[in-house]
Amino acid sequence: MINKSLFTHFVNRPFWFLDGKRAETDKDGDPFFSERLQYLYQRYYKSSPVNAVWWRMVTLALANLKDDCEPKCPHDRPPYDFGEENRDRQAKIAEHLADQLLADSLFQLLLKNLDSAEEKTQRRNRLATEFKLGANYLTAHEVTLGGMVKLHQLPELEQFDPSTGIMFSAWVHSVERKDSQIVPKPHGRVILVLQPGVYRYDLPNKFVPYYQHNNLVEPPDDLDSHLVCKAEVVVEAVKASLSDANQPDPNDRDIRSKFDD
């Protein structure tokens, strides 16, 4: 449910944190501004995909400028007040989403009962931190990689096949394998997608050199697509045997992003 909330609010919504204020005296801004800006981007993209992606990357980079950001334009005028305002807003939105999830009756069924207010506060803070980190990570990829996003989810993941390179079995299967030699059934039915896979394509790096980016991390120059993460799935399970068909698949694991080093 945490992943669902993260993906719903942040993936394919790159301008989610911009408030759309018209002036310093505008206290409320425009709650639909991010959607309007996304629609404008889509119209740009239809006519000129590369320029549209470049515009989006620059817009997001400018909205997230900070003092230790590299490379830095020599003509900048720090401090980056707008970037600080946006980071504060991002943190508040992440905290709000955490509170929303904690108030969800279905999510509460999964939570351990806590007696003390201190423990509840710690749990809330940990969840808020997860949302903040997730939002920062996804925004960093928008600024760094650009391109278009494809999510690997049902019904595409209906059948378990790690050789496709887009899915791996959930942690629960690792526990089963260790305790009772139960393994995901090859080509078995996918019961639940815990985390969609994220794939970025049509990346503009061949058209927009890295030194012209204001990136949070540095991608390879020749990159035109990137699998950010595989889909994590719960699958039908079978007892392991000597048959190769029921042995753990070496491809049954997530990737470690080259940008996380």
> Does the pLDDT value for residue 20 go beyond 90?
yes
Q: Model pTM?
A: 0.76
Residue 189 DSSP symbol? B
The arithmetic mean of pLDDT across residues 67-75, rounded, is 75
Helix (H, G, I), strand (E, B) or coil at 115: coil
Quote the pLDDT of residue 32. Answer: 95
Say which residue the tokens 């996918």 belong to: 190
Round to whole Å and give the CA distance between 221 and 45. Answer: 22
Q: What does the mean pLDDT of the chain come to?
A: 83
> What confidence tens digit (pLDDT) does each residue in 242-255 have?
554 456 677 888 88
> What confidence tens digit (pLDDT) does each residue in 124-145 have?
999 999 999 989 988 888 888 8
The arithmetic mean of pLDDT across residues 59-80, rounded, is 84
- Bridge pairing between strands 237-239 and 182-184: antiparallel
Round to whole Å and give the CA distance between 85 and 89. Answer: 6
